[in-house]
Amino acid sequence: MADVEEHLLYTKEHEWVSIDDDKTVTIGISDYAQEQLGDITYVELPELGDELEQFEQVASIESVKAANDIFSPMSGEVIEVNKELESEPGLINKSPYEKGWIARVKISDPDEKNNLMTAEEYREFLVSSG
């Protein structure tokens, strides 16, 4: 069973978001997502200053076998990206919730978190989607 971190919020596309304070969040992909993708070999990061819309593409992740789009859990402006992923994309496999974070975002609408799942809801979602 994939690991689901308690204090995070989740999307149906298996991204997570950590509410760092009332203006900034950190985003990444869940343990379940990295398990499904297998060995990650390339991450196309967003650019600093990119304006993101909730549930629209923020990054692209490639595993040995395939390329996958990653969608932003919330709207806002990219203020930091995890440059380490450029040389070591496998950090997402090893540590999806810590060292494998993708970007930090200055959010434009805190209420958007109501569209996301809690850890408990995400766990149920994983079970029900089999």
Partner 1 sequence: MDTQTSLKRTPLYEAHLALNAKMVPFGGWEMPLQYEGILAEYEQTRKRCAIFDISHMGEFIVEGDAKISGLERIVTMPLSDMPVRTSRYGTMLNEAGGTIDDCIVFRLETEKWFIVVNGATTEKDAAHIRKNLTKQSTFKDVTFDLGKIDIQGPLSRDILKALAPQVTRLAYFQFDFFDLLGENVLISRTGYTGELGYEIFYPWDKTEKLWKEFLKNDKVKPAGLGARDVLRLEVGYSLYGHELDETINPLEAGLARFVDFNKDFIGKDALLKLKEKGLKRKIVGVISDNRRSPRQSNKIFSENDEEIGYVTSGTFSPSVTRGIGLGFVKCGFEAQDKKIFFGDEKNKNSAMITSKIFYKSGSLKN
Q: Which residues bind partner 1 (CB under 8 A)?
A: 38-39, 41-42, 44, 62, 64-67, 89-90
- We find the least distance from the C-beta atom of residue 40 to partner 1, in angstroms, to be 9
Rounded to whole angstroms, the maximal C-alpha distance in the chain is 38
How far apart (Å, rounded) are the C-alpha atoms in residues 94 and 48? Answer: 25
Q: Which is nearer to partner 1, 29 or 107 (CB)?
A: 29
Closer Cβ to partner 1, 49 or 130, answer by number: 130
User: Residue 48 or residue 67: which is nearer to partner 1 going by CB?
Assistant: 67
Q: For residue 101, which phi and psi values (nearest 5 degrees)?
A: -60, 155
Q: How far is the CB of 44 from partner 1 (least distance, A)?
A: 7
